[in-house]
Amino acid sequence: MADTGRVYDDLGRPPLRAAALTRALAPDGWRAEVVATARSTNEVVAARARAGEPAGLVLVAEQQSAGRGRLGRSWESPPRAGLTLSVLLRPALPPGRLGWVSLWGGLAVARALREQTGLDAVLKWPNDVMVGGRKVWC
């Protein structure tokens, strides 16, 4: 369940703009879609993948009401409290290596945060990105 003790001080950010995200991501072949709410971005992207959606979809939800984590844990993301997204990849990897993709993703996010912001982003195994001892929700 959601951490009701968490305080979100600045939820007044403007809505994300899918067109601007798509323009930024398009040179690398990505397509962004922004939805107001989703139970789980992974759930939506998995359904789209089963329906034949090609790789490159980045689905961003302003609010996520039933996110899922490891070990059956669930969590919520209040409207505009973070950046909640799932990416549709179709890597040409043997099935035994697919489990590494989310681990590599965590490493890539930590590295990008360090390089782009100068923040001391680190990886907490297996794929939680931490800054200042707190989880970066992405």
Per the listing, tokens 């993948």 go with: 49
pTM of the full structure: 0.75
Peptide bond into 126 cis (omega under 30): yes
pLDDT attached to residue 2: 42
Which tokens sit at 85? Answer: 């997204």
Tell me the domain boundaries of the chain: 14-90, 93-138
pLDDT one-digit tens code per residue, 89-114: 999 999 999 888 888 888 998 999 99
CATH top class, domain 14-90: alpha beta
Which tokens sit at 35? Answer: 């939805």
